[in-house]
Structure 1
Amino acid sequence: MTSLPVPKIGPYPVSAIGLGCMNLSHAYGISPSEADGIRLLNHALDAGVTFFDTAALYGMGANERLVGKAIMHRKAEFTLASKCVLDVYDGKRGLNGRPDAILKTLDQALVRLGTDHIDLYYLHRLDRNVPIEESVGALARAREAGKIGAIGVSEMSAPTIRRAHAEHPLAAVQSEYSPWVRNVEVAVLDTCRELGIGFVAFSPVARGFLAGAVSSLDFVEGDIRTAMPRFQEPSFTQNLALFERFKTVAETAGVTPAQLSLAWVLSRGDHIVPIPGTRSITHLDEDLAAASMDVSVEAFAAVDEIFAPGAVAGPRYSPAMQAQIDTELLPEEVAG
């Protein structure tokens, strides 16, 4: 077992690096076999991971079922997080933040996970057609009923976070954060620090890009990166040049690129917990080692220089995907 530092997300002590379970069932093309997914999830527990993140959307419920089958018999060993609002409605992905839809998704999630309680439950995205207070209120009632232990929100702006937190105290805010996605630095990180809310960083190695896992655009069918401008030409070639510089910094620091990215995220605040995802036990062990690595301030400064404002080519989402994101835009995105 790896000895990982133990920060807190709300009332829950968790490992300094958690596990995002999404890509075991969703988003990056062909999913691994159920047996391989079960093996990886249990290895993560054995290696010291005590924070696992899933969602109703992932694999149209398949990811929650996998987590339920793989590790819920070991529930006393970890904190479980899942999400609602962004789900499948009438066979299609959609947003529904109405209280009745939230509670229906939650009840279905409990069945899929094989439990009567989810520790941390997020509003996965902001439904702009429903006041955030109504959506949070539904989760507050679910908490009173004992179905969930704490409330979180995902990919929301500082003003929305403040409104949500006023309705019911939030334990966590989850958003994308890595050296090449810095939107939460506009206001969200400071807001979380001020309000005592934990921050959970998804895609902390930039959807594999800062791990060196994406060297060409030969994605398999169904990989969501094909719709992301940073993984399309001409932006992709420009961004590969940034990665080569990043890789050199990692080599000089004596760490892998993925470890440098994770160590950088961890260095940004003691209220931040990254949740990288992987299908590889070897890569999982590599990721977890980043929590105990001593990376120099100079190396982090070099990372910041590489990914200075405006350096990354292309927006992080297509217009259709960005429409579901409430997190603040960076100045260069607004200007663009």
Structure 2
Amino acid sequence: MKSIRNMWLKLQRRATYALSMSVSGASCRWVYGEIDRQRSLSFKSILASGGEDLAGLPSQDALIPSAPLEQAIQGALRRLPAGAVRPQFLVFSVPSKHAYLGEISVPKDERESLIRYQIQELMELAAGSSEREAAFDWQLKAELSDGHVSLAVAGIDQRQVDEVRQACQASGLQCLGITLDSVAAMNGYLQMVPAALKQVDIRFLLHGELSRNRVRLGVFSQGVLFNESWEHSEEGFSVVQAISALERLVSTWTRDGVPDETASVRLILGGELMYAKGCELTAKRSQVLSPRLMDIPPRKELQNRWHDDVVPFGALEAMPCE
């Protein structure tokens, strides 16, 4: 995730508007609204949302070029309500498959320059023969008993960052930040957690993404994504098959990852299959999923496409505010 420290003073001076976009396959979703600058960035109001097709993508696994991104941005700008203030900033979330997630252990008082050096070495190993370095960020994952700390590291291919910035520049927008879709989705859901649930001592948050061809389980602890697992289907999952696949992923993780402390583990469901008839009810009847399931209401302005728009909504919420 790219830092936005150098833009913070600009945000404090006036009402500002942002366009937040996320890519999934050959399409993207976007959310537009006014930024609230209290404590952390968030949408003070959501004034529009929608979707755009991405034409000219080389393949789903390739980097996303600037040209289709620029076309999607221009399409979103044209769809803004009449009289809407043109957004100054753009927030962008990229698919997690375009990123590297890892961790390093360093002394608690390690200098930032040495931390950066170690992460750069880690990114070079992850990149293999690539000549371009990765844009990266890190945050505290855990304090260890030997005086060291474990840092969670996220790196995005610098070429992808360059493509996003080029599209922003061509559209006359400033790039406020880049994050991962998995982190953005979880962050978006968490903004809407009822107050009573926020008081619960949750050790692990699980995000189950139910899609036609993929079921994914992301495991978060203290806001850090530190484990992911998947099941794929070329033929496509039915609702029952997708729920069964998620049950297997959750069971495997609770068996291998932590003791089965149901009270300290909570599950949030998302993905396109959540719109399918009977999906939510099937999940609530699951003996594996139901005890951990959190019922989170959608943001009112996004309730029609909540499980799609939660990603661009959460991408802005994920931006640091310092």
Task: Report the TM-score, using the length of structure 1 for normalisation.
Answer: 0.31
**Larger RCO (alpha carbons 8 Å, 6+ apart):** 2
Task: Report the TM-score, using the length of structure 2 for normalisation.
Answer: 0.32
Decide which structure has the larger Cα Rg and report it.
Answer: 2
Higher-helix-fraction structure: 1
